[in-house]
């Protein structure tokens, strides 16, 4: 019996241990379940919801760009696009072939869609083509039963109603590149577009708006089940410009036949840009729709540079328009307006001869005569007396040789040389002959059309340091606030007598019978303009050519012809608007640029000159062109 009792005790002890172990395990499991289901319930509920609920960004509508009158320059329009879902299409290539019989699909479209269909999940839509016409949408809709997985989506695309007439100012939007990424999640949205040029780029943050969100329920594979909530994005700010589209369009029409030209119109008192035009131009809508490689190459390789805004990025020798700055430097240096120089048609310096544009010479010249008839020899003489550094000082005060600060990307600074500049950049000393060349706006001197307009405005307004601008409101990042009332601009350090003499000489240059721009004068004394012609050489004329006669512009190929320039203001009695015109390789400033300036200033004054002119029915520039009796 003893052994059997021992076995019973042993079995009972083992059973108790086993039972205790099971109870311990059950207790631990219960404790763990309590911890997970009660203590950590909120945490795991959140994790479960995050796997079930997705938040997606919604691109906001881009803000509009308008002119000073509220005319739309950049808007958003409906964009119909055709998409394809791989899992519904089954055979992607077959569906694309059927779709290609309905709309135009090239080999690049086929390759792109097939590549994306292999990389993306089967239920994710792939954009096949954007910007479908309503006719294309209709054809696709009718054939939907034969196009499994194909559907029409409605989005927005940027549209520029005035096309090429505003391209260089408003700019365009395009896809986000790797270099554009800043951490803003909006920039990573498929198909999102940002400003790449012009106002679209300068004020991109304000125009871009703020993102919206969509809360959607998805299954374990990420397929959308339903949208739970939606918060629309904040539309971008409207940007209003100082430009007047009527004037802009008239100027664009006036210079459209020139191979390369630019025009700038400023308010001389405020610096408001009323028009800024460059030709040739391009269609910004093509960038919104997507340029082909061939189209892009055509733009880049065009010898007339349609992508360049010549008004702010074209750097030209100013020719005789620079004589305004030279005359200012001479007067400020103590040279009197009756300083007389004899012009025999050239000036000798050492063994070199510097020619006047008028081969027989002008005879005796004082300042007013020299400006009126654009005598080179008079300016050779005063440039040598004043020196290049004083000329540079006066030129910079007038706004030449540095960026004006206009609110556009890509502005070039030009160049006003000094002795120090040449030592630092060329490693050579300055020569007196170079000063003579600078005196007539040639040599190293480079200016932009916008700078010439600023110089003219500062002379016309009595020496106020106006700065050009395009946005009517003050824009800082995303914030748009009303521009404060204009304060009195800083005054240039010029004597009032200097400015009065320059104004009179510019008046005579146009309205005196011997003035170089007399043929382009405005006969109505209430609208009369003042200004200065300029002709800038782009090639050196040899002695042999001078002996037989300099070839006319018509005898030269286009790229060897002189640039034609004019800068002026109107009305003479009470200056309000300044203009600059540059026609690349246009020949003479008096024959090519001055007539354009006359038409532009007539159009400007008739648009902004009061109620009587506003009631006129015919476009101002057409009326100006019709008045052929005003010429010479």
Do the first three CATH levels of 56-240 and 245-297+308-474+489-630 match, i.e. the same topology?
no
At residue 621, the pLDDT reads 47
Percentage of the chain with pLDDT > 70? Answer: 84
* 9-18 average pLDDT score: 69
Report d(CA 7, CA 552) in Å as an integer. Answer: 132
At residue 176, the pLDDT reads 79
Pick the more confident residue, 593 or 87: 593
Which of 191-195, 441-445, 548-552 is most confident?
441-445
* 405-421 average pLDDT score: 96
84-93, 154-163, 275-284: least confidently modelled range: 84-93
Ranges of each domain in the chain: 56-240, 245-297+308-474+489-630
At residue 429, the pLDDT reads 96
Pick the more confident residue, 273 or 186: 273
In the chain, % helix, strand, coil (3-state, to 5) comes to: 45, 20, 35
Residue 547 has pLDDT above 60, yes or no: no
Q: What residues does 197 pair with on adjacent strands? A: 172
At residue 562, the pLDDT reads 93
Give the tens place of pLDDT for each residue, 448-459.
999 999 999 999
At residue 229, the pLDDT reads 65
Pick the more confident residue, 271 or 143: 271
577 band by pLDDT with thresholds 50, 70 and 90: very high
Look-up of token digits 């556009």: 408
Residue 461's alpha-carbon distances to 223, 331, 456, 505, in angstroms, are 67, 18, 9, 15
97 band by pLDDT with thresholds 50, 70 and 90: confident
123-137, 424-438, 614-628: least confidently modelled range: 614-628
Give the tens place of pLDDT for each residue, 305-351.
999 999 999 999 999 999 999 999 999 999 999 999 999 999 999 88
Residue 308's alpha-carbon distances to 251, 579, 615, in angstroms, are 17, 20, 36
| 570: nearest Cα among 459, 466, 448, 471 | 459
Q: Are 573 and 530 in contact (CB under 8 A)?
A: no
147 band by pLDDT with thresholds 50, 70 and 90: confident
| 457: nearest Cα among 512, 503, 522, 497 | 503
| 447: nearest Cα among 407, 406, 400 | 400
Pick the more confident residue, 629 or 29: 29
Active-site residue, selected from the candidate residues 174, 288, 320, 580: 320
- B/e letters for 450-469, b = 16+ CB within 10 Å, e = fewer, are bbbbbbbbbbbbbbbbbebb
Q: Are 238 and 76 in contact (CB under 8 A)?
A: no
Helix and strand numbers, DSSP H then E, in the chain: 25, 21
Name the CATH superfamily housing domain 56-240.
Answer: Penicillin-binding protein 2a (Domain 2) (3.90.1310.10)
Report d(CA 64, CA 188) in Å as an integer. Answer: 22
Residue 377 has pLDDT above 90, yes or no: yes
Task: For residue 151, indicate whether it is catalytic.
Answer: no
Residues 6 or more apart in contact with residue 322 via CB below 8 angstroms: 395, 400, 438, 440, 441, 445, 447, 534
At residue 224, the pLDDT reads 56
Mean pLDDT of the chain: 86
55 band by pLDDT with thresholds 50, 70 and 90: low
At residue 276, the pLDDT reads 97
Residue 6 has pLDDT above 80, yes or no: no
Its CATH architecture, for the domain 245-297+308-474+489-630, is 3-Layer(aba) Sandwich (3.40)
129 band by pLDDT with thresholds 50, 70 and 90: confident
């Amino acid at each position: 019996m003893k052994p059997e009792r021992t076995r019973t005790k042993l079995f009972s002890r083992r059973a108790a241990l086993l039972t205790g172990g099971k109870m311990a395990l059950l207790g631990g499991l219960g404790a763990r379940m309590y911890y997970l289901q009660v203590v950590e319930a909120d945490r795991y509920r959140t994790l479960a919801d995050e796997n079930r609920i997705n938040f997606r960004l919604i691109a906001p509508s881009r803000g509009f760009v308008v002119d000073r009158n509220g005319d739309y320059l950049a808007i958003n329009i409906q964009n119909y696009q055709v998409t394809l879902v791989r899992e519904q299409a089954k055979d992607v290539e077959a569906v694309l072939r059927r779709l290609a019989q309905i709309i135009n699909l090239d080999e690049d479209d086929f390759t792109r869609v097939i590549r994306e269909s292999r990389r993306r999940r089967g239920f994710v839509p792939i954009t096949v083509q954007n910007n479908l016409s309503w006719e294309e949408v209709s054809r696709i809709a009718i054939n939907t039963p034969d196009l499994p997985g194909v559907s029409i989506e409605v989005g927005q695309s940027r549209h520029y109603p005035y096309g090429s007439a505003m391209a260089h100012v408003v700019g365009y939007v395009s896809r986000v590149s790797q270099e554009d990424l800043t951490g803003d999640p909006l920039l990573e949205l498929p198909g999102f577009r940002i400003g790449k040029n012009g106002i679209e780029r300068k004020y991109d943050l304000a125009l871009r708006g703020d993102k919206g969100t969509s809360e959607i329920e998805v299954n374990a594979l990420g397929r959308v089940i339903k949208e739970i909530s939606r918060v629309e994005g904040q539309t971008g700010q409207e940007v209003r410009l100082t430009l007047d589209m009527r004037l802009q369009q008239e100027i664009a029409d006036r210079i459209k036949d020139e191979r390369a030209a630019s025009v700038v119109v400023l308010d001389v008192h405020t610096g408001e840009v009323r028009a800024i035009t460059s030709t040739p131009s391009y269609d910004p809508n093509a960038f919104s729709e997507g340029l082909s490689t061939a189209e892009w190459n055509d733009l880049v390789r065009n010898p007339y540079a349609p992508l360049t805004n010549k008004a702010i990025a074209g750097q030209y020798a100013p020719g005789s328009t620079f004589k305004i700055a030279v005359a200012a430097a001479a007067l400020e240096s103590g040279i009197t307006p009756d300083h007389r120089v004899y012009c025999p048609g050239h000036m000798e310096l050492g063994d070199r001869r510097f020619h006047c544009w008028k081969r027989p010479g002008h005879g005796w010249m004082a300042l007013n005569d020299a400006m009126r008839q654009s005598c080179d020899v008079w300016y050779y003489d005063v440039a040598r007396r004043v020196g290049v550094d004083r000329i540079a000082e006066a030129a910079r005060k007038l706004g030449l040789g540095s960026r004006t600060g206009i609110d556009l990307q890509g502005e070039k600074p030009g160049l006003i040389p000094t002795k120090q500049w040449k030592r630092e950049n060329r490693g050579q000393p300055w020569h007196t002959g170079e000063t003579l060349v600078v005196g007539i706006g040639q040599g190293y001197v480079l200016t932009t059309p916008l700078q010439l307009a600023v110089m003219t405005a500062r002379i016309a307004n009595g020496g106020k340091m106006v700065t050009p601008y395009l946005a009517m409101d003050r824009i800082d990042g995303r914030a748009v606030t009303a521009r404060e009332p204009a304060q009195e601009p800083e005054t240039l350090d010029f004597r009032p007598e200097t400015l009065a003499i320059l104004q009179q000489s510019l008046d005579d240059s146009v309205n005196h019978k011997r003035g170089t721009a007399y043929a382009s004068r405005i006969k109505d004394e209430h609208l009369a303009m003042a200004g200065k012609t300029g002709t800038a050489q782009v090639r050196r004329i040899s002695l042999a050519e001078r002996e037989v006669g300099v070839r006319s512009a018509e005898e030269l190929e286009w790229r060897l012809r002189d640039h034609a320039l004019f800068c002026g203001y109107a009305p003479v009695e009470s200056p309000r608007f300044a203009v600059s015109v540059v026609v690349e390789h246009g020949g003479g400033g008096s024959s090519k640029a001055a007539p354009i300036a006359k038409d532009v200033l007539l159009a400007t004054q008739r648009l902004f000159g009061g109620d009587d002119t506003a009631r006129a029915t015919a476009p101002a520039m057409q009326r100006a062109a019709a008045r052929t009796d005003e010429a010479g």
